[in-house]
Amino acid sequence: MPQNNPRVARVLILAPRGRDAEVVSGVVGQSGAICETVANFDDLAKQIMTGAGIAVIADEALTGADIGPLASWLAAQEPWSDFPFVVMLSGRMSKAGATLKATLAALGNVVILERPLSAETLGSAANSALRARRRQYQAREVLEGRQSASDQLATLNDSLEAKVQDRTKALSQANDRITAEVIEREKAQQAMSHYQKMESLGRLTGGVAHDFNNLLNVIQGSMDLLLLTNSDEAVRRRVAIAKSACVRGAKLTSQLLAFARNQTLDLRPVSVGELFHNVVELAKPLLGSGIEILTSVGDGADLVAADGNQMEMALLNLAINARDAMEGKGTLTFKSSATSEAPDMLPAGAYIKIEVSDNGPGMSAEIAAKVFEPFFTTKGVGKGTGLGLSQVYGMAQQSGGAAFARSVEGAGATIEIWLRRAVAETEQSLVDKSDARALDGLRVLLVEDDDLVRAGMADALVSFGCLVRQASCGADGMVELERERPDVLLTDYLMPGITGAELAAKARALHPGLPVLVATGYADMGAIEGALGGNAVLRKPFQLSDLASAVARLASSKNHDALA
């Protein structure tokens, strides 16, 4: 109740005898208090409950009164409130009865005035009680103010705490994002660093393979010439052994070029049985004794159109991945089967499905869907480039097929490679008769910076009946081109000064429609084929029959510009 409420200054008077109520009202009212006389105790109780400052009661009004409701109200007062009573007692308190004493005790805050009493004593006691009541209301206002301030502070604290929590959560999320980005960036940097190392190693490997291919080309060309010119069976057997060694060397350089990822596929009929046999022989020392290797070649599933060297590398890659997944213990299975029910993304036709399966822990569907993505790997940094399976996928696509990953967690994984079914090639003579006719009298300009390779190729072309002019670099080749137009330009790719592709472009500008054949053991094959056409590249080391066929094909082409 606010302090300026008039009920705070109200004095309730209960004195039922004679003019006692009137006298008390006159005495107490002199201080400005508002005095109201009540008729009985019940009326007094009701008025107190509606609001009053104090109550002045004559003790005779308490006799037989029911103070229960008022006592309950007094007991339920707020902590700041203690309603005051001034009781005028007839006689001394020591002589009061037990009932009266109990009633006074129930009223609580009681000031007892023993009658007879003076007006000053009554007025002083009433005013003192009234001031105390006003102080109670002032205390209430202070408490309420403090409570309000406390509530506001609590609300502010709650709001501030909520804001702090929101800001902390936002900062935590931002920190998590930054941490994740830093981790991803570190992974990307580590992967890029590893990739750059692998790229440098690949370039070195490719350069070595190029030089080695040139040496093999000289040896193989010489062996072919010996077979053409010598009929001694003992010599021919030794030449055949040397050629076999050249083939193995060519296979090695092809694998090196595959590692350098600078190789174009040479699709030929490949025996799946031989492929499995070669891969198993290569894989055994790599996989260890804890892995059992099984092979199965289905009926009619032995010949595929593929690059044998690339397929060996792909299957060996899958075998090593399976070894890592099985942690060196388990079963690895190579299986082939013939089918005409190709997946939707492949054209209809006859295919052979090659499956490489392990009984390792398998992969989740999410990981299986990503295994062919470039740079995706589940191995730690430095343990894998993330390019092995993407290379398998690319090889399958370039071969006109596809690759799929199937796996169930806890039940192993299977990589499927779908390739077109092939038919066996018929054995051909060293130089086809039709090629020999096309080469007879053909004017060929040979540009090659390696003296041994150039000499070997020149001897071979002369043996075919060609008229050969030679140049040791691109600049000398341009001099020869300006002096006379040849029927075919045969050039190496990597040469000092200008490359074979640049020489071909200048030759075409000088002699439009000039057939150009680039012989190379290492180069950006895509760039050459894009500039000159797929038929204008001869890969070293090559057989004499390959050289004769390629030169004859270009020489007999009626539309040389189509090769540009």
pLDDT, tens digit, 9 for 90 and up, residues 43-79: 988 988 888 889 999 888 888 888 889 889 988 888 8
With pLDDT > 90 as the criterion, what percentage of the chain qualifies? 10
With pLDDT > 70 as the criterion, what percentage of the chain qualifies? 80
Lookup: tokens for 34: 């508002």
pLDDT, tens digit, 9 for 90 and up, residues 83-93: 999 988 887 77
Q: Quick one: average pLDDT of 230-234? A: 75
SS3 content of the chain, % helix, strand, coil (to 5): 55, 20, 30
| 357: enclosing H helix or E strand | strand 351-358
Is the model's pLDDT at 137 over the cut of 90? Answer: no
CATH of the domain spanning 433-563: 3.40.50.2300
Lookup: tokens for 43: 């009326």
Inter-residue contact 491 to 517 (CB < 8 Å)? yes
How high is the pLDDT of residue 84? 93
Read off the pLDDT band of 333 (50, 70, 90): very high
Read off the pLDDT band of 489 (50, 70, 90): very high
| 490: enclosing H helix or E strand | strand 488-492
| 445: enclosing H helix or E strand | strand 443-447
How high is the pLDDT of residue 510? 92
How high is the pLDDT of residue 435? 73
Is the model's pLDDT at 526 over the cut of 70? Answer: no
DSSP string, 447-471: E-S-HHHHHHHHHHHHHTT-EEEEE
How high is the pLDDT of residue 562? 32
How high is the pLDDT of residue 264? 60
Alpha-carbon torsion (163, 169, 171, 174), positive or negative: negative
Q: Where are the alpha helices (DSSP H) in 230-297?
A: 233-260, 272-287
Buried b (16+ CB within 10 A) or exposed e, 345-366: eeeeeebbbbbbbbbbebbeee
CA-derived radius of gyration, the chain: 55
Closest CA to 224 of 551, 554, 541, 556: 541
Is the model's pLDDT at 531 over the cut of 70? Answer: no
Is the model's pLDDT at 143 over the cut of 70? Answer: yes
Q: Alpha-carbon distance 77 to 163, whole Å?
A: 39
Closest CA to 190 of 380, 44, 444: 380
454 vs 431, more confident: 454
CATH topology of domain 7-117: Rossmann fold (3.40.50)
Inter-residue contact 362 to 328 (CB < 8 Å)? no
Is the model's pLDDT at 213 over the cut of 80? Answer: no
Lookup: tokens for 24: 């008390």
Task: Give the 3-state DSSP-derived string for 308-330, with helices as H, strands as E and coil as C.
Answer: HHHHHHHHHHHHHHHHHHHCCCE
Inter-residue contact 492 to 500 (CB < 8 Å)? yes
Q: Alpha-carbon distance 542 to 111, whole Å?
A: 130
Q: Determine how many CB atoms are found less than 10 A away from the CB of residue 468.
A: 19
CATH superfamily for domain 267-420: Histidine kinase-like ATPase, C-terminal domain (3.30.565.10)
How high is the pLDDT of residue 3? 46
Is the model's pLDDT at 412 over the cut of 70? Answer: yes
Inter-residue contact 529 to 537 (CB < 8 Å)? yes
Read off the pLDDT band of 198 (50, 70, 90): low
Task: Say if pTM beats, i.e. exceeds, 0.75.
Answer: no
Lookup: tokens for 171: 């900062």
Inter-residue contact 403 to 396 (CB < 8 Å)? yes
Indicate the average pLDDT of the chain: 80
Q: Alpha-carbon distance 169 to 195, whole Å?
A: 38
Judged by DSSP in three states, 481 sits in helix
Judged by DSSP in three states, 289 sits in coil
How high is the pLDDT of residue 334? 92
Enumerate residues 6+ apart whose C-beta is below 8 A from 139: 80
Is the model's pLDDT at 164 over the cut of 60? Answer: yes
Across the strands, what pairs with 443?
467
End-to-end CA distance of the chain: 106
Rounded to 10 degrees, the C-alpha dihedral 421/426/429/432 comes to: -70
Inter-residue contact 67 to 41 (CB < 8 Å)? yes
Lookup: tokens for 49: 């409950």
Q: Quick one: average pLDDT of 124-144? A: 87
Is the model's pLDDT at 561 over the cut of 50? Answer: no
156 φ, ψ (degrees, to nearest 5) = -65, -40
Q: Alpha-carbon distance 467 to 478, whole Å?
A: 18
Read off the pLDDT band of 528 (50, 70, 90): low
Lookup: tokens for 18: 């004679």
Q: Is 411 exposed, middle or buried (0-12, 13-18, 19+ CB in 10 A)?
A: exposed
Read off the pLDDT band of 527 (50, 70, 90): low
Inter-residue contact 55 to 48 (CB < 8 Å)? yes
Same fold, 7-117 and 267-420: no
235 vs 178, more confident: 178
Q: Alpha-carbon distance 113 to 300, whole Å?
A: 128
Q: Quick one: average pLDDT of 298-312? A: 85
| 297: enclosing H helix or E strand | strand 291-297
Enumerate residues 6+ apart whose C-beta is below 8 A from 179: none
Chain centroid to Cα 100, Å, comes to 89
Per DSSP, 277 falls in state H
Is the model's pLDDT at 397 over the cut of 50? Answer: yes
Chain position carrying tokens 């086809």: 432
Q: Quick one: average pLDDT of 320-329? A: 85
112 φ, ψ (degrees, to nearest 5) = -100, 125
Is the model's pLDDT at 389 over the cut of 80? Answer: no
Question: For the chain, which residues make up each domain, given as ranges?
Answer: 7-117, 267-420, 433-563
